[in-house]
Amino acid sequence: MKLRSVIMLLFLWAVSMSGVSGQIPVKQVKHYFNLATLSGFHFMVSYSGHCKEVCRAGYFNPIPVTIRYKSFPAVAGTKFRSLFSGNRNFWTAPFSQLLYLFIILVLTVLIIRYRTKSLRHTNQILREKEKIAEEVRRQRDQLSLAHKNLTDSIRYAQKIQQALLPSDYYFQRLLPESFILFLPKDMVSGDFYWITGREGRIFFTVADCTGHGVPGAFMSMIGFEILDKIINDQKVDKPAEILNILNQGIAATFSRGEENILLKDGMDLAFCALDRENRLLEFAGAFNPLYLIRDNNLIEYKADRFSVGLGEEENQRFTNHKLSLISGDKIYMFSDGYADQFGGPQGKKFMYRRFRHLLLSIHHLPLDQQKTIIYDTFLAWKGDLEQVDDILIIGVEPLVAGNNSVQ
């Protein structure tokens, strides 16, 4: 059955229920008549000026004609079977039942095809998500392994750095009245301290390498090695000359052949040489100053305004300061991490002004108590904020006797 025939059948059925009339131009009428008679439709058709009653009969006309239709129960005394007559019910007719079955089958097939397509699409999405999840798991495992290996390497570097740093026992043997507050930001630190004794003199320093973490730790190891050679092998005594040689040594370490490319990193430090017998302290500094507290007054010995190791100017020379000591003097050496820490009620830096005031307010206390107060003040100021840099502070009462011969 052609699609057009089906459409005409539905149209004629709608006409029979509504009781309206009209006309349709068509080429073939036979098929439509046959469709109409199968379901008991009644209508009139006229062409070439003639009108014929159509009831269960079909006609074929090869020429285009015009169908005039009108639904009615019966014509010229002939009893027709209408859709709603008691003799035949359209809804229970065999043809209608077949039509229902056909519609149900078509709908079922369409629904099944739609559901199948949806399920396939869903399964495809799930497979793609599973692939993505598997790739994420694989990359996560790789990152976890890389992180573990990196962390293990840094922990080992931390052990190496701790082994290079002077032990508390060694430091206390040389400077018995002293404290060290050392708070690395990461597992390894760019800040370091160093001390040694030779021929009745004590050499000690607080250094802050550029950056923190692993890069700073590498710089600190280089500083350890060069300082040991300068003092114990070359037998240099003056702090300024020690910094000059250290400056050249670090610049040479990072030079690159004829191009003389220098790594633009270095270290800021305060370096002291203590002659306890002559009550003399010599100091030289690269950006990091020295604080001396005497008779409730804080005296600042300023450092030179350039770093060690940058090699910016070949004729840069560090200044040597000499201090005559008296009993009760206390000196403080430090990196910039404490003063640069953000915190407080407004999230600002601690600043050197507050740091000097803090030292003046606690300098009369035993040095171990000073360390505790400085540490607690730092925690209270920092609050929940992140530590911004490595922190290193050393406090010393220099004229308290110790063992100068310890190597």
Q: Which amino acid is at 389?
A: D
3-class secondary structure, 133: helix
Per the structure block, which two tokens stand in for 145?
A: 């392994």
Are the beta carbons of 240 and 284 closer than 8 angstroms? yes
- Return per-residue pLDDT of the chain as tens, 407 residues: 454 554 555 555 554 544 444 454 444 444 444 444 444 444 444 443 333 444 334 444 444 444 444 444 433 334 434 443 444 566 666 777 788 888 888 899 899 998 898 899 899 999 999 999 999 999 999 999 998 998 888 888 888 888 889 998 999 999 999 999 999 998 888 899 999 999 889 999 999 987 667 777 888 888 888 999 999 999 999 999 999 999 888 887 776 555 555 556 688 999 999 999 999 999 999 999 999 999 999 999 999 998 898 765 567 899 999 999 999 999 999 999 999 999 999 999 999 999 999 999 999 999 999 999 999 999 999 999 999 999 999 999 999 876 554 44
- The length of the chain is 407
Whose tokens are 């009745």? That residue is 200
Looking at residue 386, its amino acid is: E
- The first and second tokens of residue 376, run together, are 């607690």
Q: For residue 24, give the nearest of 7, 39, 40 by alpha carbon.
A: 7
Question: Distance of alpha carbon 273 from its chain centroid, rounded?
Answer: 47
Q: With left for phi above 0 and alpha for psi between -120 and 50, is residue 233 left, alpha or beta? A: alpha
Alpha carbon 404 to chain centroid, angstroms: 51
What is the rounded distance in angstroms from the CA atom of residue 167 to the CA atom of residue 335? 19
What DSSP character marks residue 306? Answer: S
Strand ranges in 139-190 using DSSP code E only, listed in sequence order: 178-183
Strand segments (E) across 168-266 = 178-183, 191-198, 201-209
Q: Which residues touch 213 (CB under 8 Å, ≥6 apart)?
A: 185, 186, 187, 188, 189, 190
Pick from 192, 184, 185, 241: which is nearest to 219 by CA? Answer: 192
Of the candidates 4, 75, 85, 88, the one whose C-alpha atom is nearest the C-alpha of residue 38 is 88
Q: What does the DSSP 8-state code read for residue 178?
A: E
From CA 309, how far away is CA 254, in angstroms rounded?
9
The one-character DSSP state at 277 is T
* pLDDT score for 402: 60
Give the closest residue to 389 by CA, choosing from 224, 189, 215: 189
Query: Tokens in use for 219?
Result: 């710089």
Residues 6+ apart with CB under 8 A from 314: none
Q: State the Rg of the chain over Cα.
A: 51
Strands (E), 220-287: 267-275, 280-286
Contact 176, 195 (CB under 8 A): no
CA atoms of 402 and 332, how far apart (whole Å):
18
- In our burial notation (b when 16+ CB lie closer than 10 A, e otherwise), range 142-176 reads eeeeeeeeeeeeeeebbeebeebbbeeeebbbbbe
